[in-house]
Chain A
Amino acid sequence: MTPRTLYRRIVDAHTVGPLGEGGEILLYVDRQVLNEYTSPQAFAALHAAGRTVWRPQASIAVVDHVNPTNPVRTARTMALADAGRARQVRTLAENCARHGIELYDMLDSRQGIEHVVASEQGLVLPGMVIAAGDSHTTTHGAMGALGFGIGSSEIEHLLATQTLVYRVMRSMRVTIGGRVGAGVTAKDLILALIRTIGADGASGHVIEFTGEAITALGVEGRLTLCNMGVEAAARGAIVAPDDALFEYLHGRPRAPKGADWDAALARWRDLRSEDGAVFDAEVTLDASRIGPMVTWGTSPDQGTTIDSVVPDPAGEADPARRKSMSRALEYMDLRPGQPLDGLAISHAFIGSCTNGRLDDLRDAARVLRGRKVAPGIRAMVVPGSTSVREQAEAEGLDAVFRDAGFEWRQAGCSMCVAMNDDHLEPGDRCASSTNRNFEGRQGAGARTHLMSPAMVAAAAVSGAITDVRRLLPG
């Protein structure tokens, strides 16, 4: 038999059967996470057709996109002033109650961004297929699982049948060798990859990440990496499981226990691409040549290293790309040749499903200790989950952020997508640890520069985008 990639092995293990002559299959899905803004339409369609949920225990639901992140969380501060958002949260609760689906509502101690919560609860295990109505479901590839986002109609299909009609994607191996330098993180690796292959570089592919630099990343770094795989258009981004992952999973609330753990572990150890497996595409990067990255444009592939200048659209051969570069520079109010180091900001934001985990907060705190946010800058930390927030407080990180002048807020998507009350005003310029620098993403007319949490911290204390390596303890 031809050696198979890990991706293909996961798909094969979940194939109920083939469908038609076009190569599509019926794919069994282990788990799905539901949120308040993409699930209501799925439930409504399900009910309209008189259907029910195939396996309620395969779903969990969480409120993350629209909830407030006020520093104090009580029933009163979580009351939603906006009638539409309040109805979304209420509808999710009603649908969960009706079908017996577990819900992590706003006041639940397990609440947080769906892609942070799922791994920290041990809901995603190696070899699983997980789908959710959110594009960053690719995050879960860090658990040695296949995760991908789907639309509301597919959520309906999944709720009703626990399967999806699936077309097997092409495979891409991304090998990142070498060692990262000081101040360089998983965020910089993925931004460098996206710049190299483009925002549609992995279109129609599932990525497997491998190489020395990947193995050396902690599990949280791998979550960051796989999370942003979708920004290169990947339909999944996997890292093969290893001891670091097993250690991370052991003892998590929903991870198997006792004899089940041993049996599961034996299966998981075998989860890797078979020797000689051929990938449809191969990309290689050298981590030692990647510096701290910053985006200058309005697409995640429009980024460069901190010591570079804003590129000139005139140098771009492809007309569509040239046009989008010019438009991006206009939106971002930047000139070709302008250095990124020293570019003044008005806001600093640390959070999101990309960089809202404990390691991210530790990285930022390392830069902030003994420093103050520059005058006139609004700086916020929104932990990725309530549990991340609690662990950070146990380590005293909240004090570091507060002392530096950061707001220490409650968990949610917050200013990653600005669907709650946290948003920027037109013309604001934000150093942000999030994943999308799209026009208007953090607020209409606002400008977003993506970077690592440590780089955001460095920008906050400098009042301008800065090379974090200058601020790191030697």
Chain B
Amino acid sequence: MERFTTLTGVAAALQHANLDTDQIMPKQFLRGIDRSGLADGFLFDLRFAAPGRPRPDFVLNRAPWNEAVVLVTGPNFGCGSSREHAVWGMRELGIRCVIGTTFGGIFGDNCTRNGVPAITLPVVEVERLMALAADPARCRITVDLQTRTILSPGDGRELPFEFDPLRRHMLLEGLDAVGLTLQHADDIRRFERQYLQHQPWL
């Protein structure tokens, strides 16, 4: 997994509440067996009127947000289906970080596993960042996972955020979660032996 330490770039605001993964990655993009080729599918119906015909008024199709690396999202972004394709496509399009009040639980986990921190903040802070993100002159921010701060030169603020320590460590180091867990293989084997001994029908 690619490391995430610090990121500076354009943030885009997506105000919609409950933007679900069916909208983030519609079904016509789910016919593959790999993780690539999904950038076009990301928010397809919001971004495109038809294949190859972008909607000129949609935020991610307009400068400077066509170069967005951060999304500031409405509540429950990524709810619904577990499809990790939503994160693969988002990542492929260049989004490296999402910020909101809540995220779909599976979506949030999927983000972490793809080097994309999903940062949750109180609603007032999300609204403040959303207002900044909507302003082309002030929409550049820095997300620093090392110091757990978001810098917004647009209003001169420096905002600390909470982030789960283990996830932070994995993101900062770009660690392979499976490899890490397999270091505990003996513990798992020991647990499993005992567990199955008590319930032989499993």
CA distance A419 to B35 in the complex (A): 18
Q: Which residues of B contact A204 (CB under 8 A)?
A: 102, 105
Answer yes or no: B32 CB below 8 A from chain A CBs: yes
Q: Which residues of A contact B110 (CB under 8 A)?
A: 151, 153-154
Q: Which residues of B contact A19 (CB under 8 A)?
A: 166
* Known contacts A323-B16, A440-B26; is-contact A134 B82 (Cβ 8 Å): yes
Residue of B nearest to A235 (CB): B105
Residue of A nearest to B84 (CB): A151
Tally A-B pairs: CB < 8 A: 177
B82 CB contact (under 8 Å) in A20, A149, A263, A444: A149
Q: Which residues of B contact A320 (CB under 8 A)?
A: 15-17, 74-75
Answer yes or no: B169 CB below 8 A from chain A CBs: yes
CA distance A444 to B22 in the complex (A): 11
Answer yes or no: A412 CB below 8 A from chain B CBs: no
- Whether A260 contacts B181 by the Cβ 8 Å rule is no
- Residue from B18, B75, B166, B167 whose CB has the most chain A CB atoms within 10 Å: B18
Q: Which residues of A contact B18 (CB under 8 A)?
A: 199-200, 299, 301, 324
Q: Which residues of A contact B16 (CB under 8 A)?
A: 320, 323-324, 327
* Interface size counted on chain B using CB atoms at 8 A: 56
Answer yes or no: B34 CB below 8 A from chain A CBs: yes
B33 CB contact (under 8 Å) in A91, A149, A199, A261: A91
Q: Which residues of B contact A28 (CB under 8 A)?
A: 188, 191-192, 195
* Interface size counted on chain A using CB atoms at 8 A: 72
CA distance A108 to B177 in the complex (A): 35
- Whether A41 contacts B166 by the Cβ 8 Å rule is no
B31 CB contact (under 8 Å) in A54, A82, A156, A261: A82
Answer yes or no: A436 CB below 8 A from chain B CBs: yes
Residue of B nearest to A58 (CB): B202
CA distance A164 to B39 in the complex (A): 28
Starting from the known contacts A22-B167, A199-B76, 10 additional A-B residue pairs (CB-CB under 8 Å) come to: A22-B165, A135-B81, A153-B84, A154-B109, A157-B177, A200-B79, A260-B200, A261-B201, A301-B18, A438-B22
A residues within 8 Å of B by Cβ? 14, 16-17, 19-22, 24, 26, 28, 30, 37-38, 40-41, 44, 49, 51, 54-55, 82, 84-85, 87-88, 91, 125, 133-135, 149-154, 156-157, 160-163, 165, 167, 199-200, 203-204, 233, 235, 256, 260-261, 263-264, 267, 299, 301, 320-321, 323-324, 327, 417-419, 436, 438-441, 444
